[in-house]
Amino acid sequence: MLPLVVLVIIALVAGVAAYWLARQKNAPKIDTSERLFRLSPEWESREAERDAKARRKDDFHKHMARHKVDAPVRRLQVLIGKALASGHPAQEIVDHLIEQGWHQSTIKKAMGDTYPQQKRGKVLGLF
| Closest to 113 in 3D by CA, of 83, 85, 74, 72 | 74
Q: DSSP secondary structure string, 114-127?
A: HS-HHHHHHHH---
Residue 64 has pLDDT above 60, yes or no: yes
Q: What is the mean pLDDT of residues 51-76?
A: 78
User: Nearest CA to 125 among 87, 100, 90, 75?
Assistant: 90
Q: What is the pLDDT of residues 36-53, one digit of tens each?
A: 666 667 777 888 888 888
